Chain A
């Protein structure tokens, strides 16, 4: 029973990692750039929602502030691509990496200035309630996190496979040149992918802030999500989620069964093992081009 509870809370954590990792992979697949500010986007999304919802700030009803904060974060993602990343076109990848790392710092400090450095929790309709299945007592938030992630994943899957824009996004990330030849406005599509990644980060942030508390440094867990994306196979969307879940589940079990100092390194030890034995990740999606 104990292990089951650890598993559920681990899965809930893993969902947040997975959603951040999803943002990493979305952007990487579309633009071959890695947005190291993805974790900070998550944190910012959380704070924007807190700022809109919590009674000490604007105090809007949760269901009204939700679409607003999603739009704000999507707009941030789009603007970042449109006004910063696109201007760096032709520069080395390192430049983009360093830029996004620096951007992460900026977001962290700005969030600290606006909302302070203390941990805060999003006031949400589910807070503090519990559900019991048999002898199992689960926080309603943990369950909600898992449900929301499943729904979002399903929604994204349908979007990518059923809609014209979703297909175009896949096309543009699989073969950019061919996408140009097909008349897909690749740059605009890439901008929309950044927007989508921003919105997904916002969802992750909301889930994170609803089930625990968030402070401006929470964005640093983007590193863990990055590890999750690599474990899953950078470039595979299902892999990113799976990697997030694996990291999320390992953590509580490691801290339970392994000595305190060592448990922290468990996800990274796994990362190392995956890199040694399956360098493309567990769920890599690569195919050699035929001549």
Chain B
């Protein structure tokens, strides 16, 4: 856990037209860690991810990756630097085969033999993709598409993966399956990940460190265990009800950071 963080975000501000979606966010991701960012709809989680991967440019602030400032860089330069974004909603190439989708994941690389080796690694984590390798990606089920999106991300041989809502629209069993694979990737291949999730329980279970975002700001951060224990997180993100809450509490609980 020591050493300089691999990814440092400092005071980032991003806009959608006149609307400020991120209002000065700072966070650190250390090598080998999984960092989760929790928050409700519209908190700015996805915007933060897009800003890191270069699809959106920040108005202010710095993003430092391995000691190099990357804010405002073209997305393909960011991928070449080693940051791969697995977008929300899968976003596979629907008319291309599974194999071709994986090949495009390795677009920035030219080492043929290693690309093929990585393809086998992806297949070892997601055996179903090997069975379906010739099938058009658009005909896969939602869970398989999510696996393909993650596998496609791995093909870029990233130093850090940004995962945006990998559980979106999946059944609880599939969510568990995918999160287990993410855990294995982190443990076996030391893959650093930044994970955005609404499914707070699953995300904190997986992560080492967590940040909570609300309305474009980070309102809380801490180790995953600490966050899991925190009353605020339990109440507002994990849906834990205190015993007998109805009898004793007639006021609406306020978040401590408000």
Contacts and interface: CB of A to CB of B under 8 A. Distances in A.
Q: Do A and B bind each other?
A: yes
Contact of B87 (A174, A178, A184, A185): A178
Interface in B35-94: 53, 55, 74-76, 78-80, 84-87, 89-94
Contacts of B152: 182
10 contacts: A161-B100, A167-B103, A178-B91, A182-B152, A183-B75, A183-B79, A185-B76, A287-B139, A289-B94, A291-B89
A269 to B, nearest CB: 31
A3 B13 CA distance: 70
A171 B96 contact: yes
Contacts of A291: 89, 142, 169
A181 B94 contact: no
A164 B91 contact: no
Contacts of B104: 167-168, 171, 179, 182, 184
Contacts of B141: 290
Contacts of B24: none
Which among B76, B84, B90, B141 has the highest number of chain A CB atoms within 10 Å?
B76
Nearest to A183: B79
Chain B interface size range: 35 or more
A180 interface: yes
A177 B87 contact: yes
A285 B95 contact: yes
Contacts of A183: 75-76, 78-80, 84, 107-108, 156
Contact of B94 (A161, A179, A287): A287
Contact of A290 (B78, B84, B138): B138
Contact of B103 (A164, A185, A289): A164
Given A180-B75, A181-B87, A291-B142, A168 B107 contact: yes
Q: Please provide the 7 A-B residue pairs with the shortest distance between their CB atoms, ordered closest to farther.
A: A183-B79, A178-B91, A183-B108, A287-B138, A183-B76, A180-B75, A185-B76
Interface residues of A, number: 22
A161 B95 CA distance: 12
A170 B138 CA distance: 14
Contacts of A185: 74, 76
A175 interface: yes
Contacts of B94: 174-175, 287, 289
A215 to B, nearest CB: 39
A176 to B, nearest CB: 10
Interface string B190-205: 0000000000000000
Contacts of B90: 290
Interface of A: 161, 164, 167-168, 170-171, 174-175, 177-185, 285, 287, 289-291
A185 B78 CA distance: 11
B252 to A, nearest CB: 33
A175 B93 contact: yes
Given A175-B91, A177-B55, A167 B96 contact: yes
A285 B76 CA distance: 28
Contact of A289 (B76, B138, B156): B138
B49 to A, nearest CB: 10
Nearest to A290: B142
B105 interface: yes
Given A174-B95, A177-B87, A177-B91, 16 more contacts: A164-B107, A167-B100, A170-B93, A170-B100, A177-B55, A179-B93, A181-B85, A181-B87, A182-B79, A182-B152, A183-B79, A183-B107, A185-B76, A289-B94, A290-B142, A290-B145
A184 B106 CA distance: 10
A182 B142 contact: no
A170 B145 CA distance: 18
A287 B95 CA distance: 8
Contacts of A167: 96, 100, 103-104
B89 A182 contact: no
